[in-house]
Amino acid sequence: MTGTGGPDDLDLAISGGGLVGASLALALVPLGLRIAIIEAMPPGSTDHPSFDERTTALANGSVRIFQSLGVWRHMEREATPIRRIHVSDQGRFGVARIDAAEQGLEALGYVVPNRVMGAALWEGLRAASGIRLMAPARVIDTATVPGARTLRVERAGGEVIELRAKLVVAADGTRSALREQAGIAAEHWEYSQTAIISTMTTQRFHDHVAYERFTPEGPIAVLPLSDGRCGIVWTRRPEEAARLLALPDDAFLAELQTAFGFRLGRLLCIGARHSYDLALSRSERHVAERLAIVGNAAQGLHPIAGQGFNLGLRDAASLAEVLADALADGAADVGADAPLQAYAAWRAEDRGRIVAFTDGLVRLFGTPLGALRGLRSLGLLAFDSFPAAKSAMARLSVGAAGRIPRLARGVPLNGNR
């Protein structure tokens, strides 16, 4: 353990125990720090905003991070490999296919239900030593004091306690209150699009293919699931989404069938439907005095390319790495400015590339502009016959571009740099 102090003096406190905050806490375990993780929702809650009914397409780099954290074995049984990605544009000839085997990969990524990831991560946290779990509890304020940052935390029942930590991490999602309390601005761009998510049974087996289908009304992603069903993410304008959400199952399936086509035969059965309003949000900075921002608190993306969590998990892996390196180099203070600046520089580059890619896709495929549609199908055709573009896309699916965190390469935090 590093540092000294009273019972509520910590090395590091994380606000938000969702997918990214919980992953970060687990990644930090080998560093022997005194850590607290504060999560607003009780574990296992059916209203959990992070561990909900969604399924997440994990890049191979993210799977490697989960393997390094020792939690993948608890997710693996319900993880479905993606062997091929099929991209099409309704009413156009262009089709792009990316094949894992062609790229020399076992899989292009894996689909895992968010609830499965949440349960595995929190099980890992409960089993870890040195982590104080506070849930349900809510961070309500922060301030800097000499050598530390304080957090006021409201526990269930209304009791408010104060924590002091050398470093505080905001992992509290897109509308991060901690980021705001620390005075860091964020830009927020509403796409005026709503994603409907659900699961469906289909006449034909998915055969481990993930589909991305662009239609003039919005994209549909269909992801293979472990029990033979498929997860869907169907993006529509908000008023259209409201109409679709209110339809009886058979009418909803009929509209989905028209938009998606018959690649999987007839669509037979649809599960519960949930909706998410889509936006692009970006914090002005990744760090402030004794504060780092990770995951959706740093950036919230459109799910069109399935990059949001993968990027957030790389935030967590990179922050853990710069802190591990600083400690290995003899630093006594995990909240010192130098590792935070290293983290900020690293993340700015990765985020810039992923936001440009994702937002570019939304703008290219999210609009029914005649001229653009021509370009799009040309683009898809060219893409399918241009191996370099496919390799680049496959690398992105793998989460391998730019500087890759050690954990994403399967190297332990305290392993070779």
Using the minimum distance from each CB to ligand FAD, give the nearer residue, 222 or 233: 233
Using the minimum distance from each CB to ligand FAD, give the nearer residue, 9 or 154: 154
The angle that helices 308-328 and 19-28 make with each other, rounded to 10 degrees, is 20
- Which among 345, 38, 58 has a CA at the least distance from the CA of 171? 38
Phi-psi domain of 370 (left: phi exceeds 0; alpha: psi -120 through 50; beta: other): alpha
Q: Which one-letter DSSP state was computed for residue 58?
A: E
Helix (H, G, I), strand (E, B) or coil at 30: helix
Question: In whole angstroms, how close is the CB of 310 to ligand FAD at the nearest point?
Answer: 4
Contacts 24+ apart (CB under 8 A), 254-262: 256/200, 256/220, 256/232, 259/90, 259/213, 259/215, 259/217, 259/220, 259/234, 260/211, 260/213, 260/220, 260/222, 261/90, 261/213
Question: In whole angstroms, how close is the CB of 85 to ligand FAD at the nearest point?
Answer: 12
Using the minimum distance from each CB to ligand FAD, give the nearer residue, 65 or 326: 65
Question: In whole angstroms, how close is the CB of 61 to ligand FAD at the nearest point?
Answer: 11
Instruction: Decide: 314 and 352 in contact? Cβ < 8 Å.
Output: no
Question: In whole angstroms, how close is the CB of 385 to ligand FAD at the nearest point?
Answer: 27
**Could you tell me the two tokens for 206?**
């998915």
β-bridge pairing 220-224 and 230-236: antiparallel
Using the minimum distance from each CB to ligand FAD, give the nearer residue, 338 or 356: 356
CA distances in angstroms from 274 to 78, 242, 277, listed in the order given: 21, 11, 11
Run of H or E residues at 190? strand 186-202
Using the minimum distance from each CB to ligand FAD, give the nearer residue, 94 or 295: 295
Question: In whole angstroms, how close is the CB of 26 to ligand FAD at the nearest point?
Answer: 13
Using the minimum distance from each CB to ligand FAD, give the nearer residue, 15 or 202: 15
Give the rounded distance of the alpha carbon of 52 from its chain centre: 13
Using the minimum distance from each CB to ligand FAD, give the nearer residue, 138 or 286: 138
Question: In whole angstroms, how close is the CB of 292 to ligand FAD at the nearest point?
Answer: 13
Question: In whole angstroms, how close is the CB of 221 to ligand FAD at the nearest point?
Answer: 8
Question: In whole angstroms, how close is the CB of 277 to ligand FAD at the nearest point?
Answer: 9
Interface residues toward ligand FAD, by CB under 6 A = 15-21, 38-41, 49-50, 54, 56-57, 138-139, 171-173, 177, 195, 197, 233, 276, 295-296, 303, 306-310, 312
Q: Which one-letter DSSP state was computed for residue 410?
A: T
Using the minimum distance from each CB to ligand FAD, give the nearer residue, 8 or 325: 8
- Which among 10, 13, 30, 207 has a CA at the least distance from the CA of 107? 207
189 beta partners:
280
